[in-house]
Chain A
Amino acid sequence: MALLEVSGLTKAFGGLTAVDRLSFSVDQGQVVSMIGPNGAGKSTVFNLLTGAYRPSAGRIVYDGNDITGCKPHRSARLGMGRTFQSTTVFRTETVVENVIIGQSLHLKTGVWGAIARTNKARREEEKVREKARSILDFVGLTNVATRLAGSLTEEAQKRLSIATVLAADPKLLLLDEPTGGVNLEEIGGLIELIKKIRQSGVTVCLIEHKMRMVMSMSDRIVVLNYGTNIAEGTPAEVANNKQVIEAYLGARRVA
């Protein structure tokens, strides 16, 4: 069953068409990778999916809902979580606070509850704190829970940004270069984490440049070039696709 179905998605910035009649789908429970040369429009696709940009044309159906042009907080509420290419965490807050903020969309306490500190509000805070602890345990950041997020290593910040999104209980997780800017020795741990997330039942869609990683962990691969998908299929199919080899992999093999 397709959790996400994109058809004819187009985004033009003035005269530049960044995404051009793109169609693809992501099935429930899969890991789908989006690859392509720099400037192929991968991050723009993520921004269109979550609603950070409004599409010029096309349709995005997520979990049976037409979410084309929805605001980011709406798509997040429907269960679509995302991380950003440039690692984004609340740097001056502690690690555990970041994960607490990540749970905001489930927040039930209102203004009165907050001011009066009702029993309900206290219980909710207790629950939120409890959940933050278990998520930090899941991503392996328990030992740095009270540190400021900005003081962590790049790899730990990547983990934290994933933990913060996970706190919102997404069904589909969009990861924009989850290993970008991370030391080669540390990438293995992040790959393990993504596999663990997938095992927990979350569908993952990721943008990556590291071919070996993409080939080993993806169920399907979407290849983008000039804003349109030139190929889609299993890693084996994509690796043997002539167009892909010409546009992307071929150049690498020569080099």
Chain B
Amino acid sequence: MKGITSPQAAGWLLALIVAVLLPLFTGGYLTSILLLIAAWSIVAVSLNLLYGYTGQLSLGHSAFLGIGAYALALIAVKVHVGFWPAFFAAIAISGLFGFLIGIPALKLRGPYFVLVTLGFAAIVGVIALAWTGLTGGANGLAGAPRPTPIPLPWGGRLKFDSLLNMYYFTLFFLIVILFICHRLVHSLIGRTFIAISHDENLAESLGINTMWKKLLSFTISAVFAGVAGALYASYNSVISPDIAYFTRGMDVLACLIVGGAGTMAGPIIGTFVMTAIPEALQIVPSLRTLINGFILMLFIIFLPAGIAGGFKAFSSRWGLKSEERRHGAP
């Protein structure tokens, strides 16, 4: 990947090796945790594109996660199509909702936009819970399918019936989405996103159609969150309304802030830390929100740039090249 200098490249490679090899040596429980980390990382990466790089804070990404998950299950169960058509339809629907909500919401700026995203998430959450005929309500919805096996060119088929394979499947999408984000952010289009995040008025005065660029970022972000939702539904087979509950959107934001918004590694580091700490300490679920809230507070006060952001500042002070000097040399 261009634009990443060697210490970073080494870090990514190491992370990839660990992510691929670790589940081979651990039990199923840990693999399922890793799978969830990968899935929630995708949501954090999608929020990072919107918030970290375009400056638009959405508290409602749980909505797109929910739409992706429910769309996959509903299409597969009610329309009786195979996994792949249902999967692509689900992420398209999530993106479509992002586009349609984005048109009115992104006309608003700052806190007003944040409130609209929160309101949208609340509506989706209520629909998931109350429209029993469609979503099964609080009982949840069963029957989200696993991916249909893919025939391999050298014979045999790639099956997704095991937990390990589902983990690799999720990891694959995380890597693809990270790669797409990396390319986008470091492109000329990405620079217009970053310009908007710094100063929307200045960006607009330079001829950047800020509304359209924000809508583009929002829609792509919704598509990615939808992918995470569909992957989760496929893995878990049963989905319940809490996937679309708006507090999940807050959790994603917390992960992003802890890891470092506006950095490539931030969303993954943050999701890992925020999932691994409660897991390692064997904290009861009801205390998790409390602990996560405490961690978030510490970060906002002492390291607002997050782990990756803090590391970046630290390394640039010590003369190491940093990733975010985007093609700085002329």
Residue numbers of A with Cβ under 8 A of B are 50, 52, 71-73, 76-77, 81-82, 84, 88-94, 96-97, 100-102, 104-105, 107, 109-111, 113-117, 121, 124-125, 128-129, 132-133, 136, 145-146, 164-165, 167-168
**Taking the complex as formed, is B284 at the interface, i.e. its CB lies under 8 A from any CB of chain A?**
no
**Known contacts A93-B194, A94-B328, A133-B330, A76 near B206 by CB under 8 Å:** yes
Select one of A81, A90, A132, A136 contacting B195, CB under 8 A: A90
Cβ of B184: which chain A residues have Cβ within 8 Å of it? 111, 114-115
CA distance A72 to B196 in the complex (A): 14
Segment with Cβ contacts to A, from B9-17, B18-26, B79-87, B207-215? B207-215
- B184, B199, B202: which has the most chain A beta carbons within 10 Å? B202
Looking at the assembled complex, report how far the CB atom of B295 sits from the nearest CB atom of chain A, in whole angstroms.
26
CA distance A72 to B191 in the complex (A): 19
Cβ B329 vs Cβ A124 within 8 A: no
Cβ A84 vs Cβ B183 within 8 A: no
**Taking the complex as formed, is B180 at the interface, i.e. its CB lies under 8 A from any CB of chain A?**
yes
Select one of B194, B195, B202 contacting A84, CB under 8 A: B202
**Taking the complex as formed, is B189 at the interface, i.e. its CB lies under 8 A from any CB of chain A?**
yes
CA distance A88 to B202 in the complex (A): 7
16 contacts between A and B (CB under 8 A): A73-B207, A76-B204, A81-B206, A88-B202, A90-B198, A94-B325, A101-B203, A101-B206, A104-B208, A105-B207, A109-B188, A113-B187, A114-B187, A121-B187, A167-B206, A168-B206
Cβ B206 vs Cβ A164 within 8 A: yes
- Size bin of chain B's contact surface: 20 to 34
**Known contacts A97-B326, A146-B328, A111 near B198 by CB under 8 Å:** no
Instruction: Determine the main DSSP class of B at the interface with A.
Output: helix
What's the A-B contact tally at a CB cutoff of 8 Å? 110
**Taking the complex as formed, is B282 at the interface, i.e. its CB lies under 8 A from any CB of chain A?**
no
**Known contacts A96-B330, A97-B328, A146-B330, A109 near B189 by CB under 8 Å:** yes
CA distance A109 to B216 in the complex (A): 14
Looking at the assembled complex, report how far the CB atom of B187 sits from the nearest CB atom of chain A, in whole angstroms.
3
**Taking the complex as formed, is B205 at the interface, i.e. its CB lies under 8 A from any CB of chain A?**
yes
Cβ of A104: which chain B residues have Cβ within 8 Å of it? 188, 191-192, 195, 203, 206-208
Cβ B188 vs Cβ A105 within 8 A: no
Known: A90-B194, A101-B194, A113-B187. 14 other contacts (CB 8 A): A72-B204, A73-B208, A76-B204, A84-B202, A90-B195, A96-B328, A97-B328, A104-B207, A107-B188, A109-B189, A110-B189, A115-B183, A146-B328, A168-B207
Looking at the assembled complex, report how far the CB atom of B1 sits from the nearest CB atom of chain A, in whole angstroms.
10
Cβ of B203: which chain A residues have Cβ within 8 Å of it? 101, 104
CA distance A77 to B206 in the complex (A): 8
Looking at the assembled complex, report how far the CB atom of B313 sits from the nearest CB atom of chain A, in whole angstroms.
12
Select one of B189, B201, B202, B329 contacting A107, CB under 8 A: B189
**Taking the complex as formed, is B190 at the interface, i.e. its CB lies under 8 A from any CB of chain A?**
yes
Cβ B206 vs Cβ A71 within 8 A: no
Cβ of A133: which chain B residues have Cβ within 8 Å of it? 330
Cβ of A94: which chain B residues have Cβ within 8 Å of it? 325, 328
Cβ of A132: which chain B residues have Cβ within 8 Å of it? 330
